[in-house]
Amino acid sequence: MSRPQQITVLGATGSIGLSTLDVIARHPERYQVFALSGFTRLSELFALCVRHVPQFAVVPEAAAARGLQDDLRAAGLPTRVLVGEEGLCQVAAAPEVDAVMAAIVGAAGLRPTLAAVEAGKKILLANKEALVMSGALFMQAVRKSGSVLLPIDSEHNAIFQCMPQDFARGLSSVGVRRILLTASGGPFRQTPMSELAHVSPDQACAHPNWSMGRKISVDSASMMNKGLELIEACWLFDAKPSQVEVVIHPQSVIHSLVDYVDGSVLAQLGNPDMRTPIANALAWPERIDSGVAPLDLFAVARLDFEAPDEERFPCLRLARQAAEAGDSAPAMLNAANEVAVAAFLDGRVRYLEIASIIEEVLSLEPVVALADLDAVFTADAKARALAEQWLKRHDR
Ligand code: NAD
Ligand code: MG
């Protein structure tokens, strides 16, 4: 076999980053870690450097970089520490790199992910917010560089696996009628509506099937995650929002389905463990062991489905509206959501206010075309400012 592929893991200290490193460590003959990044929990980043011996580590600021560099040197490691967004873009685009795992959470992941796209890397895309914010520009950059874009989000990875290889010809050309995007319904699927006003961040983060970072866990509770995924699916598979139907499937065993014109519906099933989509994308078009246990259908016993209730999950309605409006609407939705979720996690807003904040932001700012990345970040900043105004007005 040829030399191991060099992998950069952006967001290595997070849930997806750690799962990625778990899969990589199972296949040292195939993969080598080129660079790791972390934003907080830098002692964990140090431990990951000891374990994987990357050429580079990236941290947010200079003082932290000096501290980590000293520790690495004392441990006899050759790893060099880089700083900030510039460092992230550098390790994403470095000529030695074959594939980049984009697993930074939120808008902060956009520039480094785009740097990897522009350098023509294989992109393992977990950072859905990047695509939601800048879908048209992002996909244009993918086409221009010839970058291979592989979805990590379990639903999109499932859809990718159920699609014919030439799906880029257009869904109708390959006989696809609909995408069925599954959702667990999160921890509040059956919580009495009267209790939703008082749920805590810890309750929101207690996902029944998946263990994830706190931001995406809150998004799963509100179903904004499914809304972001609806937009993500439209970009990845060139679908119209009306071609993507959300189906609640509480067991999280079917990770999504593709409905063909002849009536065939293909699904991908598996245990809810992100190492499956990660291994699928890392090795694509081959298959490798991910460490995930075989699916035990007798233990699963049954698969249930229900329609989502948009009164219970107003964020899903807001996301669908933004998907249909297009242009700057998804970037504004995403930014308002990031501010609202951070405030909820800080105990500054209540759970139900997340949707109120987003709805207000979207109603105040007209939708505009996004000609370039500056326009994306301008829309993002406007939405953040409006969401902050909401917080100030409510004295938070
Ligand atoms: P996480 O919070 O566990 O990890 C986030 C990572 O990003 C950490 O390494 C953190 O240090 C880094 N980070 C945070 N803020 C940063 C900033 N401003 N600049 C640079 N780095 C920063 O999150 P996660 O659950 O691993 O999710 C990561 C991404 O993957 C998200 O976009 C999420 O939507 C997506 N995703 C996650 C899952 C999952 O199962 N966890 C599933 C599908 C998609
Ligand atoms: Mg998902």
DSSP assignment of 98-142: -EEEE---SGGGHHHHHHHHHTT-EEEE--HHHHHHHHHHHHHHH
pTM over 0.95: yes
Nearest ligand to the CA atom of 214 = 1
Q: How many CB atoms lie within 10 A of CB 202?
A: 10
For residues 15-19, give the mean pLDDT. 98
For residues 328-345, give the mean pLDDT. 98
Q: What is the pLDDT of residue 273?
A: 97
For residues 152-167, give the mean pLDDT. 97
Q: What is the pLDDT of residue 81?
A: 98
- In this structure, which residue's CA is closest to atom 19 in ligand 1? 108
Tell me the CA–centroid distance for residue 260 and ligand 1, in Å: 33
Establish whether residue 105 lines the binding site of ligand 1, counting it when its CB lies within 6 angstroms of any ligand atom. yes
Q: What is the pLDDT of residue 2?
A: 81
ω into residue 241 within 30 of 0, thus cis?
no
Tokens of 324: 């249909």
For residues 172-193, give the mean pLDDT. 97
Q: What is the pLDDT of residues 236-287, one digit of tens each?
A: 999 999 999 999 999 999 999 999 999 999 999 999 999 999 999 999 999 9
Nearest ligand to the CA atom of 220 = 2
Q: What is the pLDDT of residues 46-71, one digit of tens each?
A: 999 999 999 999 999 999 999 999 99
Establish whether residue 132 lines the binding site of ligand 1, counting it when its CB lies within 6 angstroms of any ligand atom. no
Give phi and psi for 186, each to the nearest 5: 70, -170
**Average pLDDT value for the chain:** 97
Written as one letter, the residue type at 159 is I
For ligand 2, an ion, list residues with CB under 5 A. Answer: 153-155
Q: How confident is the model at residue 350 (pLDDT cuts 50, 70, 90)?
A: very high
Establish whether residue 104 lines the binding site of ligand 1, counting it when its CB lies within 6 angstroms of any ligand atom. yes
Atom of ligand 1 nearest to the CA of 228: 34
Establish whether residue 128 lines the binding site of ligand 1, counting it when its CB lies within 6 angstroms of any ligand atom. yes
For residue 142, count CB atoms less than 10 angstroms from its CB and return exposed for 0-12, middle for 13-18, buried for 19 or more. Answer: buried
Q: What is the pLDDT of residues 363-390, one digit of tens each?
A: 999 999 999 999 999 999 999 999 999 9
Q: How confident is the model at residue 88 (pLDDT cuts 50, 70, 90)?
A: very high
Atom of ligand 1 nearest to the CA of 210: 40
Instruction: Judge whether 131 and 233 are in contact, CB under 8 Å.
Output: no
Nearest ligand to the CA atom of 229 = 2
Element (DSSP H or E) covering residue 225: helix 224-237
Establish whether residue 153 lines the binding site of ligand 1, counting it when its CB lies within 6 angstroms of any ligand atom. yes
Maximum C-alpha span of the chain: 63
275 contacts: CB under 8 Å, gap ≥ 6? 19, 22, 23, 290, 291, 292
Is residue 1 over pLDDT 60?
no
Establish whether residue 21 lines the binding site of ligand 1, counting it when its CB lies within 6 angstroms of any ligand atom. no
Establish whether residue 258 lines the binding site of ligand 1, counting it when its CB lies within 6 angstroms of any ligand atom. no
Instruction: Judge whether 288 and 27 are in contact, CB under 8 Å.
Output: yes
Rounded CA-CA distance 6/126 in Å is: 18
C-alpha distance across the termini of the chain, in Å: 58
- In this structure, which residue's CA is closest to atom 7 in ligand 1? 104
For residues 218-241, give the mean pLDDT. 98
- In this structure, which residue's CA is closest to atom 11 in ligand 1? 39
- In this structure, which residue's CA is closest to atom 5 in ligand 1? 14
- In this structure, which residue's CA is closest to atom 4 in ligand 1? 14
Instruction: Judge whether 138 and 130 are in contact, CB under 8 Å.
Output: yes
Tell me the CA–centroid distance for residue 72 and ligand 2, in Å: 35
15 contacts: CB under 8 Å, gap ≥ 6? 211, 212, 213, 274
